[in-house]
Amino acid sequence: MIPLFTSRQVRSADEFAIAKLGLPGLVLMENAARSIFEQIKLNLPLSENTTFGVVSGKGNNGGDGFALARHLLINGYKVIVIALADDKELKGDALVNFRALRNLIKYYPDSKLIKYKRLNDLSILKNADVIVDSILGTGSKGELREPYKSIVEKLNSIDAFKVAVDLPTGLDVDTGYGDVVFEADLTVTLSEYKTGLFYGKGYTHCGKVVKGSIGIGSEYYNRLETDTYLIEPEDAFVNIPLKEPDLHKYSAGKVLLIAGSRNLPGAAILAAETALRAGAGAVILAVPDSISETVRTKIGSAVVISYNDNGKGFLTEEATSQLEEKICWADTIAIGPGLGRDKDTINAVINILKKNNGKKFVIDADAIFALANSKQYLKNSILTPHLGEFANLIGIAVEDLKVNPIPHAKKFAAKNKCHLVLKGAPTLIFNPAGEVFVNTTGNQGMAKFGTGDVLTGVISSFLAQSGNNEASAISGVYLHSLAADLLAEEKTIYGFTANDLMEKIPYAIKFIIDTFLPDIED
């Protein structure tokens, strides 16, 4: 897991370096600039003709930009620097670097340092191959003010490779949101990763995220407390359930799926078939009588049982007693995909959770809808809502939730003592202890019917095998999205279906096992 930090924590490292280590801020800025230059060389195909545009703000982020411009100059690149502030407004280390650049650039006739006056001044950057955003960094507060907002919009409209220093200007680096944000292709973030680079929409603005350095290493950060982590491929690997040599089908994880209704039989089939492909030894799918024949003709290896639905085609409260025996039998019960939203189904779901409170449930889709007014029986379960379902569950408008879902989700998981998998881009996993795990895999092709049912299948399968909620959620989410990434390589983000995703789950598991097993054997 890679820890993520708040902007306040990252700023405290700068203060620590200056106050406790006695390193002058100017040294930190020089280190930062040199490391950004190194990352640019590593990540961009540069030639002697590459022209850089550097746009610098009035704080230390701007200072990093001036220092970087100096390194670009002395390494032979043409640089056009637009200073949004000059020596009347600049101060401290940023001012020192501005002056040094102003003095040095006179010796490089092809390069220019321009004081920004009007938006049109930025037109000169149309000739730049690379645009560097050193406008705002961790000192940024709230939505962008003018003229910064228009400047960022203008820069976004120019066709060049875009590099953000520390973070893209306009992005709230704690929440990952922002109204107008610099659209970077590469973000060189200083020292450690910050939450907002990956939360919310952060990752859509950052491009590739790499680390630069102010020259104090990671030890200081290792002592800082954080509750937020990026999931790494190794985490997916170590959390795949172990298969002991003496397993038989019932000790290899028993999943009961309560899913499907007359109008939505497909969701149930997808989830059940996926559960088998993710390693569960026995999977039973419980569906209403009315659809059991249809489901049996379409399903592969999962066993189908049916309950009396009095011809209604959906789960009713009356039917719940018929499921009791199988609920006791199962290690994990997945409930929700395709159940429908009839009042009777809602009562049945609540009834099942209430009677079996404490059993391991994976609660998805219509079962989440059912719980809007009845959240007291979620202990020990994993809920897998998308943003809309979660908004409905906690009774707030999606638009309000979107602004920053993190605090709501943290509170929900802690209060209800459950794991919450908030599906989205990226998917975030919340545990009852208040920690957040950010998934790093996946693509837009997953926004399609049925992909959520596949996730329910993987997580419930892992949970039945391992009994470990957190491990199952982390590994399940990662591998589900990795399967989508493998499919995107083969079929593009347009071309794969939920069925393909289900079929690809074993290959994603294999990919991760093959990647890490040799290391373990060494």
169 binds, among ligand LZDS7PUF, K ion, none (CB under 5 to 8 A by kind): K ion
324 binds, among K ion, ligand LZDS7PUF, none (CB under 5 to 8 A by kind): none
Q: Is 64 annotated as a binding residue?
A: yes
Q: Is 425 annotated as a binding residue?
A: yes
- The number of angstroms, rounded, from the C-alpha of 278 to the middle of its chain's C-alpha atoms is 22
**Contact criterion met (CB below 8 Å) for 336 and 368:** yes
Q: Is 519 annotated as a binding residue?
A: no
The distance of closest approach from Cβ of residue 272 to K ion in the complex, given in angstroms and rounded to an integer, is 48
175 binds, among ligand LZDS7PUF, K ion, none (CB under 5 to 8 A by kind): none
Token representation of residue 281: 């030894």
253 binds, among ligand LZDS7PUF, K ion, none (CB under 5 to 8 A by kind): none
State the Cα–Cα distance between residues 189 and 435, nearest whole angstrom.
23
Q: Quick one: which of 30, 64, 129, 133 contacts K ion (CB under 5 A)?
A: 133
Which residue, 163 or 302, is less far from ligand LZDS7PUF as judged by CB?
163
133 binds, among ligand LZDS7PUF, K ion, none (CB under 5 to 8 A by kind): K ion
User: One symbol per residue from 261 to 290: x for binding K ion (CB under 5 A), - otherwise; what is it?
Assistant: ------------------------------
What DSSP element (H or E) covers 265?
Answer: helix 265-277
Binding residues for ligand LZDS7PUF (CB under 6 A): 14, 25, 28-29, 32, 57-62, 64, 136-145, 148, 165-166, 190, 214
Q: 58, 8, 15: which is closest to 175 by C-alpha?
A: 8
Using CB under 5 A as the binding rule, whether residue 64 contacts K ion is answered as no
Q: Is 267 annotated as a binding residue?
A: yes
**Contact criterion met (CB below 8 Å) for 259 and 267:** yes
**Contact criterion met (CB below 8 Å) for 196 and 169:** no
Q: What strands, in cross-sheet order, belong to the sheet with 51-56? A: 112-115, 78-83, 51-56, 130-134, 161-165, 186-190, 208-212
State the Cα–Cα distance between residues 500 and 315, nearest whole angstrom.
28
Q: Is the peptide bond before 407 cis (omega within 30 degrees of 0)?
A: no
**Contact criterion met (CB below 8 Å) for 293 and 236:** no
State the Cα–Cα distance between residues 501 and 313, nearest whole angstrom.
27
Number of residues forming the site for K ion (CB under 5 A) = 4
State the Cα–Cα distance between residues 419 and 409, nearest whole angstrom.
10
Stretch of 133-141, 230-238, 360-368, 380-388 contacting K ion, by CB under 5 A? 133-141
Using CB under 5 A as the binding rule, whether residue 172 contacts K ion is answered as no
Q: Residue positions in the annotated binding site for AMP?
A: 423-427, 452
Q: Which residues bind K ion (CB under 5 A)?
A: 133, 164-165, 169
Q: Residue positions in the annotated binding site for (6S)-NADPHX?
A: 60-64, 137-143, 148, 166, 267, 338, 386, 453
Q: Residue positions in the annotated binding site for K(+)?
A: 61, 133, 169
